[in-house]
A = this chain, B = another copy of it.
């Protein structure tokens, strides 16, 4: 009665996105960017978050890799913003996850 499925590319990608969101520092950054509806600088973040510069840089890298944020060089700073295009995608898939559920 083995009818093992291969987990779809779609679900694996979505899981990766949730994984990227699954750390308090990264979630804080996303929340901040989302709620301000604007951008911020690594230097600002490192002052308020309880991690060192290199660690923060790693988290930003992961968020970038997951496609959730993007960085623009604005010397001497780097300005980070949400990746709007992918952010929409996340919203859509989340909505889909709740498809048969009560509307949000």
Contact = CB atoms under 8 A, between A and B. Distances in A.
A28 interface: yes
B15 A22 contact: yes
Given A2-B47, A34-B101, A91-B98, A18 B22 contact: yes
A102 B88 CA distance: 9
A11 B34 contact: no
A95 B103 CA distance: 11
Nearest to A2: B47
B5 A15 contact: no
Given A14-B27, A34-B97, 20 more contacts: A4-B47, A4-B48, A7-B50, A11-B24, A15-B21, A15-B23, A15-B27, A18-B18, A18-B19, A18-B22, A19-B19, A27-B97, A34-B98, A34-B101, A35-B97, A35-B99, A37-B101, A91-B104, A94-B94, A104-B104
